[in-house]
Amino acid sequence: MYNREQAAAIIKTQGILPLYYHADANISIAIAHALYKGGIRAIEFTNRGEKALENFKLLVNERNNKLPDLLLCIGTITTPQDAHLFIEAGANVLISPVFDADVSDVAYMSKVLWIPGCMTPTEIHVAYTAGWSLLKLFPGNVLQPHYIQAIKSLFPNIDFLVTGGVETNAENIQSWLKAGAVGVGLGSKLMIPSMIQENKMEALTQLVEGIMQIIHQFKQNK
């Protein structure tokens, strides 16, 4: 079990957080393996379908048996009930599109990292005063990199993970990192639907390897 600091460090070091949901358990597991093969050590499985809890439990079992150093995050957590269920299922990290005080309390009492979603300076301030310093800025395609540049000086102790509309090319990813983000969340732009439908897992591995290289090069040149 990772503590909050360790979990946050893994995500920030990786610089990318792949996120996805699939109703097919075998495909969910295959995606996790493809990402892992490409160097990913933290993924977000989203709570966006009827099979979310069932498939997440299978991912936890797969991680325990074959992917021992994989950090498993569960996204789209908006109720304390779901927070409890997924923590019991083995989630290392909870991620939400919003700030919810009840979810915050569950994560805090369970000693699990929570990454709440924020958009406005007020939401960021509320999340930080509640004890959370790694926040999800969402949606990225609305906010754009200059938003981080505009607010970063107001919140020097907060790390921002951007999701929503982030592209997989070097120019877009590096624009977020240059603006001050510690990482980007990538969903359908990384797990391209046609790629998944055609079971092209090797192509997914190659794509994520390229993105990891983009992030590595950026950090080397800082």
Q: Which of 136, 152, 198, 202 is catalytic?
A: 136
| 161 Rama sector, left if φ>0, alpha if ψ -120 to 50, beta otherwise | beta
Torsion, Cα of 64, 40, 133, 173 (10° steps)? -160
DSSP state, 134?
E
State how far the Cα of 114 lies from the Cα of 78, in Å rounded to an integer.
Answer: 11
DSSP state, 174?
H
Report yes or no: 128 and 156 within 8 Å, Cβ to Cβ. no
Q: Is 136 a catalytic residue?
A: yes
Q: Which of 44, 50, 167, 200 is catalytic?
A: 44
Catalytic center residues: 44, 136
